[in-house]
Homo-oligomer: A and B are copies of this chain.
Amino acid sequence: MDILKTIKEKLAGDSVTDASFEGANIVIYTDDENFFKNGESKIKEIVNELKKRIELRADRDVLHDKEKVEKEIKEIVPKEAEITKIIFDNHRSIVIIEAKKPGLVIGKKGSIIEEIRKKTMWTPQVQRSASIKSKITDNIREVLYANNTYRRRFLNKMGKKIYKEWSPEKVDEWVRLTMLGGGRQVGRSCLLLQTPESKILLDCGVDVASSGKDKFPYFNLPEFDISQLDAVIITHAHLDHVGLLPYLYKMGYDGPVYMTPPTRDIAALLSLDFIGVAYKQATKPLFSSTDVKEMVKHSICLDYNEVTDVTPDIRITFYNSGHCLGASIVHINIGNGLHNLVYTGDYKYGKSRLLEQAVGNYPRVETVVTEATYGSKKDVLPAKSKSEQDLIDIVNKTIKRKGKVLIPELGLGRAQETMLILEDAMKKGKLPDVPIYIDGMIWDINA
């Protein structure tokens, strides 16, 4: 089934100038101003029929002049939104608006971006400006903008691959799952999921505590062939789940990696830090910043609950896992409902100060692969309230003795949680108002 042809035929009378893929999404370009502005209901009909995401954009021939558009945007968007940057993506007819208060750019029910769209013919995308200036997140966005043409071709190629053998029918096939790492250990989480149509890695972690070949997942298994790999799915940005992904690109992988936007940013950040740590320890890093860039260049970011085809017979959805910023449980629909697999990655079933608890309801699941860290009979942790009180007691005791409290925070996300506990204790008078100084990677991660 040629899905682009099918769509073009359905829109035969509507001046469609081009149709292409952005990953599993389908983009239709039109030079008919009226259809661009009012074609929404017709597109929705096709979306309902094919159950695929389709976006209508204006052909570049009818896009308004950039300088004029920039002025218009600044007029339409209220000053309080604090726009920091406007970037035009010519090849995709998209204008990216970075603002400190993105909600004000979007407007009620999207009214403001809709106005921008209709007035300028450009398709606006809104991003939150970094609240703290971070060179690394700037650089990550830079990589994406700089490789726009490559990205467009790459995403179109991915779409072609996904839809080549695509069929809406339920298929009869086998499913294989192989643990390449992370079985009975913490570190180097990596699973190979195979069907007759697909070879997909779930996570690609490093075991930082090990040395030599034990750092790596079992990439030497006979059924793993990097040149046959269709996609990588990353559940969250900790190194034991993503640390060897740049290494995959170094070894020649040039396919997509699916993750949430925060996972992409933090993974890049931690990977660069991983290189830095290697240099500090006078060892050779496993990969270079070029490989980290390749990872970013090939990333396809998905929000929670966004259903996406990644191969002809595999469709994935990320759900919040409550483990750290951007961390996901991934639901994998194989063969149009033949088998549904949930791979949890790391998760937390309690609400923390920072994050919602993990999603526990899925439409259909036949197999669950779960992490089991702290999952044994004896792993009963003290109540959160007690742990927090213990922390506050120690800080109080130290302050009374006129001491200083140094808190080395090891895990990503823990520093933020600790900050919130201390702030809350001060607000409630459980701690005296003393200055708190923070330093390290937390700056970039909070950015």
Contacts and interface: CB of A to CB of B under 8 A. Distances in A.
A223 interface: yes
A434 interface: no
A94 to B, nearest CB: 42
Contacts of A222: 222-223
Interface string A173-201: 01000000000000000000000000000
Contacts of A223: 221-223
A223 B218 CA distance: 13
Interface in A191-236: 218, 221-223
Nearest to A223: B222
Nearest to A225: B222
A222 B192 CA distance: 14
Contacts of A174: 218
A222 B221 CA distance: 9
Nearest to A221: B223
A75 to B, nearest CB: 61
Interface residues on A, range: under 10
Contacts of A218: 174
A221 B222 CA distance: 9
Nearest to A339: B184
A356 B189 CA distance: 45
A64 to B, nearest CB: 55
A221 B174 CA distance: 12
A174 B214 CA distance: 12
Contacts of A221: 223
A223 B221 CA distance: 8
A222 B222 CA distance: 6
A218 B223 CA distance: 13
A228 to B, nearest CB: 10
A78 to B, nearest CB: 59
A221 B223 CA distance: 8
A330 B426 CA distance: 63
A222 B220 CA distance: 12
A156 B223 CA distance: 34
A222 B228 CA distance: 13
A223 B180 CA distance: 14
A115 B218 CA distance: 58
A156 to B, nearest CB: 31
A225 to B, nearest CB: 8
A218 B175 CA distance: 12
A174 B185 CA distance: 12
A9 B303 CA distance: 71
Nearest to A183: B174
A194 to B, nearest CB: 10
A187 to B, nearest CB: 14
A35 B218 CA distance: 53
Interface string A134-156: 00000000000000000000000
A174 B174 CA distance: 25
A223 B222 CA distance: 5
Nearest to A174: B218
A441 B221 CA distance: 45
A221 B225 CA distance: 13
A218 B196 CA distance: 12
A153 to B, nearest CB: 31
5 contacts: A174-B218, A221-B223, A222-B222, A222-B223, A223-B223
Pick the 5 closest A-B CB pairs, nearest first.
A222-B222, A222-B223, A223-B223, A221-B223, A174-B218
